[in-house]
Amino acid sequence: QKEVEQNSGPLSVPEGAIASLNCTYSDRGSQSFFWYRQYSGKSPELIMFIYSNGDKEDGRFTAQLNKASQYVSLLIRDSQPSDSATYLCAVNIPPLGSQGNLIFGKGTKLSVKP
End-to-end CA distance of the chain: 40
List the one residue from 22, 49, 71, 75 that touches other proteins (CB under 8 A): 49
List the one residue from 53, 78, 101, 113 that touches other proteins (CB under 8 A): 101
Amino acid at 71: Y
Is 99 near other proteins (CB under 8 A)? yes
Is 61 near other proteins (CB under 8 A)? no
Which of 93, 90, 106, 94 has its CA nearest to residue 36? 90
Is 104 near other proteins (CB under 8 A)? yes
Question: What is the number of other CB atoms lying within 10 angstroms of the CB of residue 44?
Answer: 18
Stretch that binds other proteins, among 10-18, 55-63, 77-85, 94-102 (CB under 8 A): 94-102
Is 39 near other proteins (CB under 8 A)? no
Which of 51, 47, 42, 60 has its CA nearest to residue 94? 51
* 95 upstream amide cis, omega within 30 of 0: yes
Give me the residues that bind other proteins (CB under 8 A), please: 31-32, 34, 36, 42-46, 49, 51, 88, 92, 96, 98-102, 104-107
